[in-house]
Chains A and B, each alone.
Chain A
Amino acid sequence: MPIRTISIWMTGVPLAIAAIGFFFSFLASLSPSFYFTWPYFLEVLSAGLLQGVMYSLVALGFVLIFKASSVFNFAQGSMVLFAALTMVGLIEMGLHWTLAFVVTAAVMVLLAIVIERVVLRPMVNQPHIIMFMATIGIFYFLDGFGQTIWGSNVKVLDIGIPKDPIFVLTGLVEGGMLVNSFDLVAAIVGAVLVAVLAVFFQYTRIGRALRAVADDHQAAQSVGIPLKTIWVVVWSVAGIVALVAGIMWGGKAGVQFTLALIALKALPVLILGGFTSIPGAIVGGLIIGAGEQVAEVFLGSLVGGAIQDWFAYMLALVVLLFRPQGLFGEKIIERV
């Protein structure tokens, strides 16, 4: 990313946050029923950001697949659910979580191979929108399959990450800020994952092949890059990213069917960030996470609550109206 873009973001984001904060404190001064204090605002904001890391994790899987095969994988959310269900199931069978992780990762690779064989290969050269609908089919299939095997009860996925609330920044803000240590771990895991992926794509042979495929399928094939292998690799990586996301989500909210729907919120994240940009997925996730948390806490009560259900989508919609290519996408020049 060019320096200029970074500097715009570095100044723009704090300014935007401050503006929203001052707007809320202005509202609070108008009406006593509107509760607002700065530490509380920051707390909500950070909780939202950490939630956003989760969205970013799911969105990352989408971006990987879209970059390599221009398939918009609607099923990423159900892959998260499926991975989490499998892992919980294995732990319940008595496996240690590390072993369960390895086995589940193997299952995700197997899944990638099956998807490539059964769905992608027969559909090469179909219009993108048809491929998209096929992934809706995968979405349904995986939802049903996972629950057929593992049942649909709410399960707890616990791999020993501490969940205690801790106070941070006690020196800066009066009383400190309350943060869940689990969320912090999730954020760190997310950051590590992104770093690993970035290295993988930038510096390995397979990463280079992958970028070539992303640019032009036919050209890549003509220089001898095996398209099928690449697709299996990408879907496997996306499956493992889904597994990590599933562990984090499952540990936080329990493993259940709604996970697949929550994971759908990675879609507006992608719209904000652009389909092909990994930094976009991360920044988009953070914006959506923080935005919906702040909106829910401070504005939701004004209209009856639960605006989290749709806020992310509306935010994405509004951004699209002004910037159809997303925050990080390039301006599209159409040709005839």
Chain B
Amino acid sequence: MIYREAGQFKSSYGADQAIFPILQDRIAVAIMLAIAVVVIPLVAGPYWLETILVPFLVFSMAAIGLNLLTGYCGQLSLGTGGFMACGAFFAYKLSTAFPELHIVLVFLLSGLGTAFVGILFGIPSLRIKGFYLAVATLAAQFFLVWMFNKFPWWNNYSPSGVISAPPRAVFGDFYLTGTQATPEIKYLFLLAFVSVMALLAKNLTRSRIGRSWMAIRDMDIAAEIIGIRPLFAKLSAFAISSFYIGISGALWAFVYTGSVEALAFDINRSFQVLFMIIVGGLGSILGSFLGAAFIVLMPIFLSNAPAALGLHISVELVSHMEFMIFGALIIFFLIVEPSGLARLWQIGKEKLRLWPFPY
């Protein structure tokens, strides 16, 4: 009844190509943004901001990155953790070597550095496909984490190997990292930053470059025959994906945990991000957010649910159960809805269009 597009005619192709072509969608998005910017920082406590919303936004960034590569371009990567580590350590080296460099610039530059590493490890994708490539990306994962672990140059010869991110402000006294940073500032900064990056990613996917990625994903031979250079399409996907993932690694280390360590980016991190895009929806920017929310909330739910039911389960057992449940969920999603939560969202919207008169 309320949600209908009848009467909304588009008179230009530009209007037809908008991200939210329906008026109600635009209103809903505006309301959601207003809530996210104004209401949440006022209502949510530091626990919610620090342990749920901040990691959610950081992971969304990583999931967008992996989705560009795997969901849009069809190149399966298991090296996400390694690329996140790249971003984190590049950011650390940059911000300690050039303390006066603005923190946002540091993030962007470390993303660029990671993009370069991504291109290097993406070169094999020109000759190998599918599972072969997935295994090849494991080389990136293990090699990069090993490198950051082994060479003390990366942590400025810190004896403990664990280093904390230097305090940096977005502007004035608004500290984003270090002890003076407040959860509200972290959250608002991430919200703005990740939203802009997500918008840019969305734009890429509906432009020429995004179409060339999808063409390579759906049928690489035909793509080449209609004039898409596989070299350029694949490497650009690797580069831009790694750019996003690298920034998310830097955000993880600087804004979320506040410490930079290679072991935080082991292979399980790669799987975690992969699960996000499977659950959220391959080939969907919205799905990256939904998947990240799901995977961040799930363990919190799992560790609190038994207590709420009056059961006492050891922490260790909970973590094992978590593995089991994640595994089962992945299989469930792949069987029932391979397009993930994003598809469910779409189906919901289509239902809503007809509501309350189904015919």
Contacts and interface: CB of A to CB of B under 8 A. Distances in A.
Given A144-B322, A334-B221, A320 B136 contact: yes
Interface string B293-335: 0000000000000000000000011001111111111110011
A142 B138 CA distance: 21
Contacts of B225: 336
A316 B271 CA distance: 21
Interface in A315-336: 316-317, 320-321, 324, 334, 336
Interface string B330-352: 11001100100000000000000
A144 B323 contact: yes
Given A142-B327, A144-B322, A147-B323, A310 B139 contact: yes
B274 A133 contact: yes
B132 A324 contact: yes
A122 B336 CA distance: 9
A93 interface: no
A267 B190 CA distance: 38
B131 A314 contact: no
From DSSP, what is the main secondary structure of chain A's interface residues?
helix
Contact of B327 (A144, A261, A307): A144
Contact of A261 (B267, B329, B331): B267
A144 B131 contact: no
A316 B132 CA distance: 10
A123 B335 contact: yes
A39 interface: no
B281 to A, nearest CB: 13
B130 interface: yes
B3 interface: no
B134 interface: yes
B222 interface: yes
Interface string A143-182: 1110110001000000000000000000000000000000
B135 interface: yes
Nearest to B219: A336
B331 A141 contact: yes
B151 A304 contact: yes
Interface in B139-195: 139, 142-143, 145-146, 149-151
Nearest to A66: B131
Contacts of A31: none
A129 B76 contact: yes
20 contacts: A118-B331, A129-B76, A137-B328, A139-B327, A140-B324, A141-B327, A144-B324, A144-B326, A147-B320, A152-B320, A271-B136, A304-B150, A306-B146, A306-B150, A307-B146, A310-B143, A313-B135, A317-B136, A320-B127, A334-B221
Interface of B: 74, 76, 123-124, 127-128, 130-132, 134-136, 138-139, 142-143, 145-146, 149-151, 221-222, 225, 267, 271, 274, 278, 316-317, 320-331, 334-335, 338
Given A140-B326, A148-B321, 17 more contacts: A130-B334, A132-B130, A134-B331, A136-B330, A137-B329, A140-B323, A141-B326, A144-B323, A147-B323, A305-B150, A306-B146, A313-B136, A313-B139, A313-B143, A316-B139, A317-B136, A320-B127
